[in-house]
Amino acid sequence: MMARRLLADRGGSGAAEFALVLPLLVAFLLGTVDVARFLWECNRAEKATQAGARYAVVTDIVPAGLAAYSFAVSDGLLQGSAVPQANFAGASCVSTAVTGTDATAISCSCIGGSCPWLGTANVAAFNRIATRMRLIYPRLTAANVEIRYEYSGLGFAGDPNGADVAPLVVVRLRNVSFRPVLISFLRTNSISLPAFGASLTLEDGSGNVAN
């Protein structure tokens, strides 16, 4: 008689059903939060590259030799002629050593061909760009930043007022990851953010202050 009453009792069915549904509700809630966080991270990363590019084109050039290199004198190009891509292949600058959030060493390498104009990398200029980007995306370090100077066809050999070329300055993010709350319980790897980047044509390329 007692067993029959226990089997017929439905008093705890609601709690049992809730216990079955609860994990799904929690997963849905955390998933919704993670999607919002991911979009927020992507937005900040994209805006950081835009701010970095804007700052980079009006402040000191990272491959410092480019600012004073004369393609007319050193490469034998006709004064006032356009610098061909064969003479300016472009360069990529990244941090090779970081202390805290700032770079302590920068490596600039040719994108293609040879780059006699590279000179010594300006670590301070690189760090200023990264610092400007961190105002928008605070968790960035110098190791996450790549600055490229790509051929644009602008400028002329022997320019007496600045760099002979006005390259396309591309600021990119690299190795930036996002760790969702939902998968953190599973101890799985983080998700890599897309390779955000922004580009502008070099302006004065001198100084350490930007408007």
- Give CA–CA dist 150/19, Å, rounded: 59
Lowest mean pLDDT among 12-21, 77-86, 134-143: 12-21
Q: Which residue has the higher pLDDT, 27 or 207?
A: 207
Q: Which helix (H) or strand (E) holds 99?
A: strand 91-99
Tell me how far apart the terminal alpha carbons of the chain are, to the nearest angstrom.
Answer: 86
Q: How many CB atoms lie within 10 A of CB 83?
A: 24
Q: Given this model, what pLDDT does residue 191 score?
A: 83
Q: What is the mean pLDDT of the chain?
A: 88
HEC profile of 123-186 = HHHHHHHHHHHHCCCCCCCHHHEEEEEECCCCECCCCCCCCCECCEEEEEECCCEECCHHHHCC
Asked if residue 7 has pLDDT above 60, the reply is no
- Give CA–CA dist 110/116, Å, rounded: 9
pLDDT-derived band at 202, boundaries 50, 70, 90: very high
- Most confidently predicted of 15-24, 50-59, 192-201: 50-59
CA 81-83-88 angle, 5° bins = 170
Q: Which residues, other chains included, contact 57 with Cβ-Cβ below 8 Å and sequence gap of 6+?
A: 169, 200, 201, 202, 203, 205
- Give CA–CA dist 109/94, Å, rounded: 9
Q: Given this model, what pLDDT does residue 9 score?
A: 55
Asked if residue 94 has pLDDT above 80, the reply is yes
67-91 average pLDDT score:
93
Asked if residue 152 has pLDDT above 90, the reply is yes
- Give CA–CA dist 31/29, Å, rounded: 5
